Amino acid sequence: MSELLIRHACVVDPVNRISGEIMDLAVRDGRIVESVSDRAEVIDAQGFLTMAGGIDSHTHICGTKVNFGRYMSPEDMRAGRTLKKGQMHSTSGYSVPTTYGNSYRYATMGYTAVLEGAMAPLEARHTHEEFMATPLQDTMANVLFDGNWPVMEAVRDRDVKRVAAIVAWVLTAVKGFAIKITNPGGTEAWGWGKNVTCIRDPVPYFEVTPAEIIETLIRANEILRLPHSVHLHCNNLGTPGNYSCTIGSMDVAPDLNKERQSLYVTHVQFHSYGGTSWKDINSKAHVVADAVNRKPHIVIDMGQMMFGKTTTMTADGPMEFNLYKLHHNKWSNHDVELETGSGIIPVYYSRKSIVNSVMWAIGLELALLIKNPEQCLLATDNPNGSPFVKYPEIIALLMSNPYRQAEIATLPPETESRISLPAIDRELDWNEIAMMTRAGQGRALGLRKLGRGHLGLGAIADIAIYPLSIGAIDPSKEYTRVIEALRLTRYTIKNGKVIARDGEILSNRNKTTIWVRPKIPEQHRMDHDPDFIRNFERYYTVRMSNYPVQEAYVPESTCIETEAVW
């Protein structure tokens, strides 16, 4: 039995309606409890801001394309090196750090769980290998279904149960967490160097539309009663005028789940552009935010872009090629048979660029115009919008209108007429920030009931204590102090153990990989389906028996079993 008592914590925990109350937190065997014995280890939180561990619900940190981002970019590796020190391995990388680099940096920022945004099922073993080398966060993986041949065929046949059965087989086989669709249909078209422009374009050969793929997968997701909803990267990313496609995609989503959203739309900043070309691009964040405000069954994340150097990487192969044709630097692409695609290019977001300035404003506008912070989560689509180490700056921008105005003053003057940010004076409070960085994620991922994203009795004792007395400062004026405090926790606690203190890592390993195993009726299982097996053996280049990820790749594993409603 291990016990911990955190004294004088200034707790912000919106799920349990605790808003800056100074209190003690008792922990036994990794869970929050009512009280502990006097033998408990004691930590004095000194009245500092204390929240549940941060959860990143959309980040790219492990797997084939992430590693290729490192592989092709020694210049990025050189830009972020740290020495081997104590328990810490040496690290490399600024925008795409090594697995230890990611893990240490997230840990010292108080993040204890992360969802890898895009895992190609065929290459899942790779993602899990990197998860094993990401020692201090609980890890989950979105599984890509955007160009899955058997799924598209079942969608074409309007057989939602077959779609559900395929998803169940794949999720179980690859030890994945949720359904991800990246540019649905577009990644398959990219196999021929083509793309789809929006949700009504038919996918070459398969003759299904992105809209049909999205809607059917949402229904299949709820048949399987998966913890998370469908996680959508809309078609037409990064194109002027794409906001209407984004709203159209949201309109497709039925409202099917009472406890959480039915559709999670990711990095919406990249999908909220007005105008007809790069010359007249403008923000349509207000229109997209209005749509989200009217649809409580939708949750989005910001996909905030921050100025500076980063690496873009996505399963959206055609988009990356288009971006490459704008930037002319270097381009990698990796299409995955029967499943999906991916692309990578490094970019530099400049505050001298009107386009980049508009992008920067859009992410913030979304967060400030969406009324319920549980519907707009904080993320940068790390590292696409910016590396996650910029989260403290984003939080400060959301909490301080003066900070925003000071930043706007540095942008090209032509930017102002294209954005609404200068006129928005909303400043978020600590409850709202907690919603956008942990509580909302707990709900959106379906993990709140499992004790994540909050500090109520029975919750998992993942706790972040930041060196900031929130009662003593005005974040609107003292935003630099907010940034400073959120960069490095005083303590990061995971499962009741201190894993980081003042930037120093104190644990070798403290994690689990969370995956789902939906149970469906035996006779519908794909491993008994002759058509599925025959096509698998005929068109994949890996035997069906060698495809599933073995137990050896999830030595620390939390399997969520669901019972499908058939």
Partner 1 sequence: MLHEDVVCPFCACLCDDLKVETDNGTIVKVDNACDLGNHKFLTDDDHRLKEPIRRTPSGWTSATLQHAIDRTVEILLGADRPLLYGWSGTHGEAQSIGVHMAEVLGGVIDSTTSVCHGPSILAIQEVGHPGCTLGQVKNRADLVVYWGANPIEAHPRHMSRYTTYTDGFFLDRAFKERKVIVVDIRRTQTAEVADEFILIKKGGDYAVLSALRAIVRGKSDMIPATVAGVTKEQLLRIAEMCKKAKFGAFFFGMGITQTQGKYKNIRNAIELVDELNRHTKFTLTPMRGHYNVYGFNEVCTWMTGYPYAVDFCRGMAFYNPGETSAVDILARKECDACLVVASDPAAHFPKDAVRHLGEIPTVQIDPYPNTTTAFCELQIPVAVTGIDAQGTSYRMDGVPIRVKSILNRGYPTDTDILGEIYRRIKEAKRV
**371, 299 contact by CB (below 8 A):** no
Smaller CB distance to partner 1: residue 320 or 365? 320
Distance CA 324, CA 75 (A): 18
Which residue among 1, 193, 423, 530 contacts partner 1 (CB under 8 A)? 193
Q: Is 415 helix (H, G, I), strand (E, B) or coil?
A: helix
Consecutive H or E run containing 3: strand 3-13
Measured from the CB atom, the residue of 258 and 538 that comes closer to partner 1 is: 538
Region from 230-238, 467-475, 525-533, 544-552 binding partner 1, contact rule CB under 8 A? 544-552
At 81, which amino acid appears? R
- Of residues 15, 32, 51, 68, which one binds partner 1 by CB under 8 A? 68
Subset of residues 210 to 229 that bind partner 1, contact rule: CB under 8 A: none
Q: Which residue in 57, 59, 99, 148 binds partner 1 (CB under 8 A)?
A: 99
Rounded distance, CA 65 to CA 59, Å? 12
Please identify which residue in 100, 104, 111, 479 interacts with partner 1, judged by CB under 8 A. Answer: 100
Region near partner 1 per CB under 8 A, out of 123-131, 173-181, 264-272, 285-293: 123-131
- Specify the stretch interacting with partner 1 by CB under 8 A; choose among 7-15, 29-37, 63-71, 443-451: 63-71
- Residue 526 is given by DSSP the state G
- Where are the alpha helices (H) located in 235-302, listed in sequence order? 243-252, 285-294
- Alpha-carbon gap, residue 253 to 443, rounded angstroms: 18
Q: Is 541 in the site for partner 1 (CB under 8 A)?
A: yes
Q: What is the DSSP string of 53-86?
A: PEEEEEE--SSHHHHHHHHT-HHHHHTT-B--BT
Closest by CA to 13, choosing from 3, 25, 2, 4, is 25
545 is a contact residue toward partner 1 (CB under 8 A) = yes
Sign of CA pseudo-dihedral 448, 453, 458, 462: positive
Q: Does 465 bind partner 1 (CB under 8 A)?
A: no
Q: Which is nearer to partner 1, 147 or 240 (CB)?
A: 147
Q: Is 429 in the site for partner 1 (CB under 8 A)?
A: no
Nearer to partner 1, 91 or 261 (CB): 91
The verdict on 67 binding partner 1 (CB under 8 A) reads yes
Q: Is 90 in the site for partner 1 (CB under 8 A)?
A: yes
| Among the listed residues 331, 351, 416, 497, the single contact to partner 1 using CB under 8 A | 331
Distance (Å, whole) CA 96 – CA 332: 15
CA distance from start to end of the chain: 42
Is there a contact between 7 and 428 (Cβ–Cβ < 8 Å)? no
Structure tokens at 253: 């989503």
User: Does 399 interact with partner 1 (rule: CB under 8 A)?
Assistant: no
The single residue among 16, 244, 257, 333 that binds partner 1, judged by CB under 8 A, is: 333
The residue within the footprint of partner 1, chosen from 19, 321, 322, 506 (CB under 8 A), is: 321
x/- letters, 344..373, toward partner 1 (CB under 8 A): xx----------------------------
Using CB under 8 A, pick the residue from 159, 335, 416, 556 that binds partner 1. Answer: 335
Q: Does 74 bind partner 1 (CB under 8 A)?
A: yes
Say if residue 35 is exposed, middle or buried (CB neighbours under 10 Å; 0-12, 13-18, 19+): exposed
Q: In the set 334, 351, 481, 501, which binds partner 1 (CB under 8 A)? A: 334
Shortest separation between residue 134's beta carbon and partner 1, angstroms = 9
The binder of partner 1 chosen from 1, 83, 423, 472 (CB under 8 A): 83
Residue closer to partner 1 by CB (options 198, 338) is 338
Distance CA 532, CA 271 (A): 35
8 A C-beta contact, residue 190 and residue 203:
no
* Residue 98 binds to partner 1 (criterion: CB under 8 A): yes
Given 46, 197, 276, 550, the residue binding partner 1 (CB under 8 A) = 550
Q: Is 527 in the site for partner 1 (CB under 8 A)?
A: no
Closer of 279 and 538 to partner 1 (Cβ): 538
| In 435-521, alpha helices (H) | 440-444, 479-487
Among positions 81, 225, 481, 519, the unique one binding partner 1 when judged by CB under 8 A: 81
The amino acid at residue 228 is H
Measuring CA to CA, how many Å separate 334 from each of 64, 190, 357? 9, 11, 30
203 binds partner 1 (CB under 8 A): no
- From CA 225, how far away is CA 178, in angstroms rounded? 11
CB of residue 247 to partner 1, shortest distance in Å: 31
Using alpha carbons, select from 497, 506, 463, 466 the residue that is nearest to residue 54.
463
Q: Judged by CB under 8 A, which of 17, 279, 294, 543 binds partner 1?
A: 543
Show the beta-strand stretches assigned E in 417-495.
Answer: 463-466, 491-494
Under the binding rule (CB under 8 A), the answer on residue 133 touching partner 1 is yes
Q: Does 566 bind partner 1 (CB under 8 A)?
A: no
What H or E segment, with its residue span, contains residue 395?
A: helix 391-399
**Dist. CA 26–CA 38, nearest whole Å:** 11
Contact stretch for partner 1 (CB under 8 A) within 5-13, 254-262, 405-413, 532-540: 532-540
Closest CB to partner 1 among residues 169, 466: 169
Alpha-carbon gap, residue 562 to 53, rounded angstroms: 25
Q: Is residue 523 within the footprint of partner 1 (CB under 8 A)?
A: no
Helix (H) or strand (E) holding 502: none
Looking at residue 448, its amino acid is: R
Contacts with partner 1 by CB under 8 A lie at 62, 64, 67-68, 70-74, 77, 81-84, 89-93, 97-101, 122-123, 125-126, 129-130, 133, 191-193, 205, 321, 324, 330-338, 344-345, 538-543, 545-546, 550, 552
